[in-house]
Amino acid sequence: MPLVNSKELFEKAYKEGYAIGAFNCNNMEIVQAITEAAKECNSPVILQVSAGARKYAKPVYLKKMVEAAVEDTGLPIVLHLDHGADFEICKDCIDGGFTSVMIDCSSKPFEENIAITKKVVEYAHAHKPYVTVEAELGTLAGIEDDVKVEHGAESYTNPDQVEEFVKRTGVDSLAIAIGTSHGAYKFRPEQCTRDPKTGVLLPPPLRFDILEEVSKRLPGFPIVLHGSSSVNQEYVKIINEHGGALKDAVGVPEDQLRQAARMAVCKINIDSDLRLAMTAGIREHFEAHPDHFDPRQYIGDGRAYVKQLVKHKITDVLGSNDKI
């Protein structure tokens, strides 16, 4: 099966109340970990590439690795551009064989966001085969590529704007801001309560009222959640017990993501959790084997941790297992 776009995957996910995982890829081991996990779970998957990933690994390597994963697994895989900043990068990816792109003009004024998104949609939909387009309304806190939004400067999606945005742009899916944010430090300690037993921060709940209102205005339309790592504390603990120093790292609780996946959310973006799993595996390896210096040994352990994490996400959070 060749690479697919996200249209039919989202239609089925919406109807059946689950979400497809969109996992960020930066190297071969991450691509393998995600796709082997998806294969074992019989799940479709989205492999997404940020501008930072393109800079780190070069677009040609990423594309060929994803193609290798398609050949190796036979899965329906979407190759998606994450946070495309302008028309040119979207065009470059569409021309280069991506099957889906995100144009992210969420930090620009509404009319400018519409104009650029519409231009990308026209180009992507005219492409043969059809390339799907994701856009964003509202801004998340955190860091994505070179844009850093401070906590407090984020803004929730305004449900009054979504119908007009989708109608005027023709976009295929919409990322909304309901309280998730990028990175491993999603909430300031002051925004959270602290579990008195473990000392772990408990974050404020997502704004399900906004998600509900958006889905009422856009019946049947696929919604996307960015910044949806849960910062699983077992990995933070391993990292900190093996020389790391991640203080007050906190994410979105997995039960809330599961709830969102049962609603209109069809795509859930996860990157930081993969980074934490990879780091936990490698740190643990080095402490257990200080004499090792073959990268296949320690990166191999990191890859195994990422694979285990992705299987957990697919079956316990996204609900996309056995959906092929």
Q: List residues with catalytic annotation.
A: 82
Q: Which of residues 183-212 bind ligand 13P (CB under 6 A)?
A: 183
What are 168's two structure tokens? Answer: 């005027």
145 binds, among ligand G3H, ligand 13P, Zn ion, none (CB under 5 to 8 A by kind): ligand G3H
Residue with the shortest CB distance to ligand G3H: 52
Q: Which stretch binds ligand 13P (CB under 6 A): 25-33, 225-233, 277-285, 288-296?
A: 225-233
User: Residue 159, Cα to own-chain centre: how many angstroms?
Assistant: 22
Distance CA 78, CA 305 (A): 23
Amino acid at site 290: P
Q: Where are the alpha helices (DSSP H) in the chain?
A: 7-16, 28-41, 51-57, 59-73, 87-95, 110-126, 159-169, 208-217, 233-241, 254-262, 272-288, 295-312
Q: Cβ of 74: how many Cβ atoms within 10 Å?
A: 11
Q: Is 24 in the site for ligand 13P (CB under 6 A)?
A: yes
Q: Which of residues 256-315 bind Zn ion (CB under 5 A)?
A: 269
Task: Please identify, using beta-carbon distances, which residue of 271 and 284 lies nearer to ligand 13P.
Answer: 271
Q: Which helix (H) or strand (E) holds 202?
A: strand 201-202
Residue selected from 226, 312, 313, 323 as contacting ligand 13P according to rule CB under 6 A: 226
Q: Which helix (H) or strand (E) holds 81?
A: strand 77-84
Residue selected from 117, 139, 228, 320 as contacting ligand 13P according to rule CB under 6 A: 228
What are 295's two structure tokens? Answer: 């990268």
User: Residue 116, Cα to own-chain centre: how many angstroms?
Assistant: 22
* In the complex, least distance from residue 225 CB atom to Zn ion, rounded to whole angstroms: 9
- Residues that bind ligand G3H in the complex, under the rule CB under 6 A: 24, 50, 52-53, 82-83, 144-145, 182, 271
* In the complex, least distance from residue 214 CB atom to ligand G3H, rounded to whole angstroms: 20
What phi and psi, each to the nearest 5 degrees, are found at residue 53?
-65, -40
* In the complex, least distance from residue 227 CB atom to ligand G3H, rounded to whole angstroms: 7
Q: Is 226 in the site for Zn ion (CB under 5 A)?
A: yes
Q: Is 113 in the site for ligand 13P (CB under 6 A)?
A: no
Q: Is 272 in the site for ligand 13P (CB under 6 A)?
A: yes
Residue with tokens 């995600």, as numbered in its chain: 34
Q: Which stretch binds ligand 13P (CB under 6 A): 29-37, 52-60, 269-277, 290-298?
A: 269-277
Q: 135 - beta bridge partners?
A: 103, 174
Site residues (vs ligand 13P, CB under 6 A)? 24, 82-83, 182-183, 226-229, 269-273
Site residues, Zn ion (CB under 5 A): 226, 269
